[in-house]
């Protein structure tokens, strides 16, 4: 049996859908079984109640589980939550942990989630269990955040200068996570690290050219300073500390880094063709045209703070 944690967030729900497409049974650990129940039932994924911060709830959820896909909310207690799961998995005899991490993690990173993921990865490496760590770049889905402003004034405002980024589609990440969870595991006690980006590194001007074609009107890139972007986020109702986190991340990206370099090794390993941004934009045309709101991801102008609190999994803060 495979257990999926964080199954109601952006990444976890994509993985639930992938298990459904592959007709592979799995179990989802959730705090609120009513949330996302219909989607899990449609995918044939069973539900068990549990909380990564309530260690006593984990042993029953792990009964009979051989592989865990570890995803959790990105918040102040992420290291504690994921550490609890790793410890409980070892105690339950789990053979393989697939952890969703992030590209460019560093114990000394100015981005706190980069530090947190590094701490969890260290914990996982020290554990007597086979581990696969997936390190995706920025998610393509984060561009949904800009749709209301983009449609209101035709601008796509980001504090990224001339930086090129190679974002990855969350649906592709789910395919890789499924393949890692259902395929051969590393040797016991070993950790396999798989960085992962999309198939092309694009400037924001190039992103806007694709979005212009998608929505059928000109979209113009406006290069903001990180401070200006921070003020806009807070004015839109984003919690100040989360805006601070994004500010740190934008500063890192503006300087260039691993998210600017294409790395499709993980896709090649599992024989998966990564989605281009143009393909993603075409598939997401109803969202980019403002016809439908994105699920499980806030955007300035259609902010849902409750959703923000529950869906800050690895990618949504990225």
Distance, in Å, from the CA atom of 10 to the CA atom of 13, rounded to the nearest integer, reads 6
d(CA 183, CA 187) in angstroms, rounded, equals: 13
For residue 251, give every residue at least 6 positions away whose Cβ sits within 8 Å of its Cβ, in sequence order, or none.
110, 159, 226
Same fold, 2-137+170-196 and 140-167+198-261+274-303: no
Write down the CATH superfamily of domain 140-167+198-261+274-303. Answer: UDP-galactose 4-epimerase, domain 1 (3.90.25.10)
Instruction: Name the one residue in this structure whose structure tokens are 């890139």.
Output: 221
Q: What is the pLDDT of residue 301?
A: 43
Alpha carbons within 13 A on the beta-carbon side of 254: 16
Radius of gyration of the chain (CA): 19
Residues of the chain predicted below pLDDT 70? 296-318
Helix (H, G, I), strand (E, B) or coil at 175: helix
Nearest CA to 264 out of 155, 159, 135 is that of 135
pLDDT value for 244: 85
- Residue 111 confidence (pLDDT): 84
**Under CATH, what is the fold of the domain 2-137+170-196?**
Rossmann fold (3.40.50)
- Give residue-wise pLDDT tens across range 140-178: 999 998 898 888 899 999 999 899 999 999 999 999 999
Q: Which helix (H) or strand (E) holds 260?
A: none
pLDDT in tens, 282-296: 999 999 998 888 775
Domain coordinates in residue numbering, the chain: 2-137+170-196, 140-167+198-261+274-303
CA distance 169 to 171: 5
């Amino acid at each position: 049996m495979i257990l999926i944690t964080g199954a109601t967030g952006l990444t976890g729900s994509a993985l639930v859908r992938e298990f459904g497409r592959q007709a592979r049974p799995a179990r989802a650990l959730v705090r609120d079984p009513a949330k996302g129940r219909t989607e899990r039932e449609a995918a044939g994924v069973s539900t068990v109640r549990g909380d990564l911060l309530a260690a006593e709830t984990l042993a029953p959820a792990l009964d009979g589980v051989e592989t865990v896909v570890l995803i959790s909310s990105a918040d102040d207690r992420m290291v504690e939550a994921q550490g609890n799961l790793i410890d409980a998995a070892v105690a339950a005899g789990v053979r393989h942990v697939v952890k969703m991490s992030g590209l460019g993690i560093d114990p000394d990173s100015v981005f706190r989630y980069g530090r947190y993921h590094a701490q969890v990865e260290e914990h996982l490496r020290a554990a007597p269990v086979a581990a696969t760590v997936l390190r995706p770049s920025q998610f393509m889905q984060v561009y949904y955040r800009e749709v209301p402003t983009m449609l209101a004034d035709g601008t796509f405002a980001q504090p990224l200068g001339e930086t090129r980024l190679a974002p990855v589609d969350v649906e592709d990440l789910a395919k890789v996570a499924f393949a890692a969870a259902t395929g051969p595991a590393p040797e016991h006690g070993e950790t396999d690290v798989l960085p992962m980006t999309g198939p092309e590194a694009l400037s924001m001007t190039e992103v806007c050219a694709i979005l212009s074609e998608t929505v059928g009107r000109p979209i113009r890139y406006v290069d903001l300073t990180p401070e200006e972007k921070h003020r806009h986020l807070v004015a839109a109702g984003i919690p100040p500390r989360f805006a601070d986190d994004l500010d740190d991340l934008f500063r890192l990206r503006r300087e260039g880094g691993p998210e600017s370099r294409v790395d499709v090794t993980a896709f090649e390993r599992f024989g998966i063709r990564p989605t281009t941004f143009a393909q993603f934009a075409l598939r997401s045309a109803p969202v980019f045209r403002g016809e439908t709101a994105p699920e499980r991801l806030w955007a300035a102008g259609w902010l849902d703070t409750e959703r923000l609190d529950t869906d800050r999994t690895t990618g949504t803060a990225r």
